[in-house]
Structure 1
Amino acid sequence: MTADRWWLARLLFTGRQQIILAGLAMLGRAGVLVLVPWPLKYVVNCVILGRHPPHWMVSLSPAIASERIALLNFLAVVMLALAAADAALDYCGNRLFLSAGQRTVYALRRQVFNHLLSLPIAYHRHRRGGELMSRLTEDAGQIQDVIVVAGTSLFPHVLTLAGIVGVMLLIDWRYACLVIAILPMLGFINYRWSHLLRAHLRRTRGREGELWGLAQEVLAALPLVQTSGREPHEQRRFALQGLSSLRAALAATRTQAQLRPLIDVLIATGTTAVIWYGAMRALSGSLTPGDLLLFLAYLRGLVTPVRQITKAAPQLGRCAVALERIREVFDERSPVCDPPHPVVPVRCLGRMEFRGVGFAYKPGVAALADVAFTLAPGRRVALVGPTGAGKTTIAMLAIRMADPGSGQVLLDGEDLRRLPLRYVRRHVALMLQDSPLLHGTVWENIAYGRPGARRADAIEAAIAAGVDDVIRALPDGYDTRVAERGGSLSGGQRQCIAIARVTLADARVVILDEPSSALDATTERRIAGALRRLGQDRALLVIAHRLATIRDADEIIVLAHGRIAQVGSHHALLRNGGIYGSLLRDHGVEALPQVAAE
């Protein structure tokens, strides 16, 4: 938790000006709250009982001090002024702390979001999006709440507590010690219950994250759920997960509810003892009625901060848990990062070489072993093989989503690990089999492939890719709004947009994960021609699942169990038989028809 505090302190630096000003306002308010009971003391002693005013009051204004009504009026004005000062300082402090909290949460969410973008795809595949979203939204929001609570409740009340204790010790240290005696017991109870509450809150936040992760997962797969008739099953799963979250929340509520009655009983006991002792001293004449009233007001002033600190304990506990959960995200580190001293080539030629590459997702289980081949501009290489052979792994290594465990992946003779990540991602483009689309227009999704691209650039790229008429056939053409994840478009339409986006990116090495898997025959022929044009001066690596799409490749690499089993042209591999022939027979293909370009 110490590391979390230092990390939060560094984060608060973003709103330091507001926090400093708010702290000064609350410091002033604490001084005002310490002064509030004093006019009441002089009302009782000097106005009601007629005792002689203190020397400083006589020196300040003899006329007022000598006349009871004038003194009463003066003290009433002082009380109103103190109340006004308390309200003004409270307003300024609250507003500034709210501003600081909002700025801090804004900075925190940016940091979390940026860090999530830097983490590898493997990290996101093993975690539910809803659970990560709960950390980005709800957990980050807890930080703002605790800044406000700490600034507007804890800080001024702790200062007030310290001021009251100091003043009481100056007035009558014996009486003050009796009053102060209850504070260590209150502190121990608060500390003990806060730790128990934090454990329950940690469990509650974990259950809630799992619940929202389940909800997002099911809603994202809603077509599958409905077409499979699995609504009752998912409703039961959500109810069970929600029940687990409810039980954790009830346990936290029970612990939270136990704290206040304990504090109330202890405060009532201490208050009774203090009143009894003070009344006995007032009766004996060793304590004036005004001083007794002042001590009782300060006792009440002590109780208020203690209650506020107790009320803040659950919020502080939630904040501590939120900090832990956010720190867990920041503790994750991507294995892929920029080198300390990167090499930045003047231009990219587009020659990529895999040299003895090996890779394993788990220790001792090789996904790739001794893979070696070359991609050159103007050449089209196809990668085929059964599921799990390592085709997608090669694509991830080429785009540097991961680094090889052994061997090298070279771009124009330089190891990718020596190049800046932005340079690699700029010159090596990857189009996934199910390319995602973002909320916006069609042309904006195409323009996403190149920073700063305009609508005209997106249209030009679609024309070059041979999908212009497909896009113009949409309801609003290039201005058609795309729903989340492209749900308003067919699979073929989504893939046409993705191919236009890759074309606009103008990378020197293009990796296509089955670019025609969701297209009809007419659109497939159009894209085949676009790919030929695209590959005239670029290196193309086509990961093929439908073997009918790779007949025209300059070279076909057949993978099996993470190794290269065969290399050659389509006709050469047919003559040699082996794994390639088996794959064709498994797909029910004996003679692959030529795919004509438009």
Structure 2
Amino acid sequence: MPSSDRRSMRRSLHGLRRTAGYLKPHLRAERTLLFGGSAALFAEVAMRLLEPWPLKFVLDGVIAASGARIGLDAPDNLPMVLVLACVALLVIVTLRAVAAYLMTLCFALAGNRLLTAMREQVYAHLQTLSMAFHDNARTGDLVTRVTSDVGRLKEVGVTAALPLLGNVITMVTMLGVVAVLDWQLALVMLAVLPLFVLTGARLSRKITGVSRTQRKAEGALASLAAETLAAMRVVQSYSLEDRMQAAFASNNVKTLKDGVKAKKLSAGLERRTDVLVGIATAGVLYLGATRVLAGALTPGELVVFLTYLKAAFKPMRDLAKYTGRIAQAAASGERLVDLLEERPRVVNQQWARSARPFLGDIQFTDVWLSYTTGHPVLRGLNLRIRAGERVAVVGPSGAGKSSVAMLLSRLRDPDYGQVRIDGHDLRDLTMESVRPQIAIVLQESLLFAMSIRENIAHGACDVTDEEIERAARLAGAHEFITALPDGYDTVVGERGATLSGGQRQRIAIARAAVRDAPIVVLDEAMTGLDQDTEQEVLAAMDRLTDGRTTIVITHDLAAAQNADRVIWIDGGLATDHGPPSQVLSRHAGEPGVISGPHRRDPREAYRAVRR
């Protein structure tokens, strides 16, 4: 066997073992159904074994009766034998049908429950993975793993693997019965098995390799489609339709070629299996007929042998038929296990405790943070923000400003140094108790494709309609929400695309307000708004942050004018801090920040709204 084939086989077996390891806990939960299905399976196998025997008695009886016409003795009870054989056949077929129905029902229900539970496990695990993973992962590929890969496992497990298991048990038991009745015919039946194993193993490895490549290509195709659809405004604005179509067509053709190659290999395995089964059948027929003529077998026993031969080799046909689908399922299982074996980098430590309500005193001590190994974004950042203070974190793009918000919410942990709130290192506190006490309003106000009421309610757990409306009023959103056709029950488009930028931002502010958090982070929350909308949003933010520790992250100097203090970050370090008028005047001309006259002073906007 070539070394590449051996590596492929080892990889496939290792992948199946890994997948089975993650399925075991779910299998234990379904042991009642699996036990019932197994009992029905063995009952169905027993009925298969019994099914040819009534035919044997009838056939031998009829032949004996034919012999009576030429002077041989005929059985006296032939009519009774015929009636009993027909009744027995009807009972056996009925019992087999019932057993097969119960087996299919139990295994299908167990398989669907098992893989539904696995899909939930994969989805839940995805939400625990840190931003370090999600920043580098492709969304379309992850969606394919949660939906298509789990669905493929479910399809093959129910329609192929479980019936194949029953057929294998049938083959083993039938070969055992045949060996007891006539070992010579059993040897003829067994002679083709080594040929099938050799042929099937070689082609199965090739099919598995092609299927693995195909699943990866399908994941890449889904990612490309998801990215294109999510950025349709950019695609159409820059006339990128032809370029995106060409990239999609190229990936699509690749998946087509891989699929055709896998199907071609699978079809070749099926036809070779048919030839091997035909060879075995011809051998049994010839040898069995000679033994009947020699008087070693009756014609009825030969019919039993041929019936057993057809049923015993059905697993070989099924394995050839389902090899491609099983290989795809194995590849899907590997992709799921690869995902489940990803470990979150931000986790609760064993000693972590729940945080008490924060006052809002924040301190960064010698904090280093890298998104890519060897390229730190923060390089020993030190800063202190007092409880209730409004601080603007300003600096050029790429200086590390948004990293401050990620560290505060424990979306990432520092490589070195400490982030403390009220004197407690955040790594000593549970994430579940820290994150609800920090409200963040981002530059991109992402909304979910659900009602406005639900979008606002996502800010906190168990909020009432009164609290939702109060938060909307604080955000200045109540008036435009009630003017919509369905008010708070209006369903917005995906990512809130059916609303204007200012409307999305005010709903995001309401979502932050309903949290009632002692710490508020505004991360470039004013970018992209026109002056009229900016007035409304500024006023809403003023109400949101009143009396709370507030961090305004911006590269727009005008947005920092109303802060109590400005901290200038450049190159991952806090290089300057002080009153806004002093710090901003020192850095007004630096590249990478906005300070031109086209921006309206936010203090004027506040005064206009208040008047």
Which one is further off, 152-161 or 405-414? 152-161
Q: How does 1:95-494 map to 2 (within 5 A)?
A: 95-150=105-160, 152-494=162-504
Q: Which residue of structure 2 lines up, in the alignment, with residue 506 of structure 1? A: 516
Structure 2 gaps, min length 5:
1-13, 68-74
Q: How far does the alpha carbon of each residue in 1:150-197 deviate from its partner, in whole angstroms, 9 at most, with x for none? A: 554212111111111111111112221222222222223222221111
Instruction: Output the CA distance in 2 between the equivalents of 1:457 and 1:549.
Output: 29
Instruction: Output the CA distance in 2 between the equivalents of 1:580 and 1:545.
Output: 11
Instruction: Output the CA distance in 2 between the equivalents of 1:87 and 1:332.
Output: 45
Instruction: Output the CA distance in 2 between the equivalents of 1:390 and 1:287.
Output: 88
Identity across matched positions, percent? 35
Contact kept? 2:138, 2:223, Cα under 8 Å: yes
Contact kept? 1:382, 1:542, Cα under 8 Å: yes
Which one is further off, 383-392 or 191-200? 191-200
Q: Which residue of structure 2 lines up, in the alignment, with residue 20 of structure 1? A: 35
Instruction: Output the CA distance in 1 between the equivalents of 2:449 and 2:284.
Output: 66
Shift of 1:127: 2.3
Aligned amino acid, residue 146 of structure 1: V
Secondary structure class of the residue paired with 2:358: coil
Instruction: Output the CA distance in 1 between the equivalents of 2:25 and 2:153.
Output: 13
RMSD between aligned residues: 2.1
Instruction: Output the CA distance in 1 between the equivalents of 2:315 and 2:490.
Output: 59
Contact kept? 1:14, 1:103, Cα under 8 Å: no
Shift in alpha-carbon separation, 1:258–1:590, aligned structure 2, 3 A: closer
Shift of 1:484: 1.0
Instruction: Output the CA distance in 2 between the equivalents of 1:437 and 1:454.
Output: 19
Q: Which residue of structure 2 lines up, in the alignment, with residue 42 of structure 1? A: 57
Instruction: Output the CA distance in 2 between the equivalents of 1:48 and 1:330.
Output: 64
Secondary structure class of the residue paired with 2:316: helix
Could you tell me the TM-score, scaled by structure 1's length? 0.93
Structure 1 gaps, min length 5:
53-64
Aligned counterpart in structure 2 of residue 568 of structure 1, from 568, 573, 578: 578
Aligned counterpart in structure 2 of residue 588 of structure 1, from 568, 581, 596: 596
Contact kept? 1:467, 1:526, Cα under 8 Å: no
Shift of 1:473: 4.0
Which one is further off, 179-188 or 552-561? 179-188
Contact kept? 1:557, 1:566, Cα under 8 Å: yes
Secondary structure class of the residue paired with 2:353: coil
Aligned counterpart in structure 2 of residue 3 of structure 1, from 10, 18, 23: 18
Instruction: Output the CA distance in 1 between the equivalents of 2:160 and 2:598.
Output: 74
Secondary structure class of the residue paired with 1:537: coil
How many residue pairs match? The answer is: 584
Shift in alpha-carbon separation, 1:585–1:403, aligned structure 2, 3 A: closer
Shift of 1:253: 1.2
Contact kept? 2:355, 2:434, Cα under 8 Å: no
Q: Are residues 1:542 and 2:552 paired?
A: yes
Q: How does 1:52-91 map to 2 (within 5 A)?
A: 66-91=76-101
Could you tell me the TM-score, scaled by structure 2's length? 0.91
Which one is further off, 284-293 or 321-330? 284-293
Shift in alpha-carbon separation, 1:589–1:406, aligned structure 2, 3 A: farther
Q: How far does the alpha carbon of each residue in 1:215-242 deviate from its partner, in whole angstroms, 9 at most, with x for none? A: 1111111111112222122211111111
Shift in alpha-carbon separation, 1:15–1:315, aligned structure 2, 3 A: farther
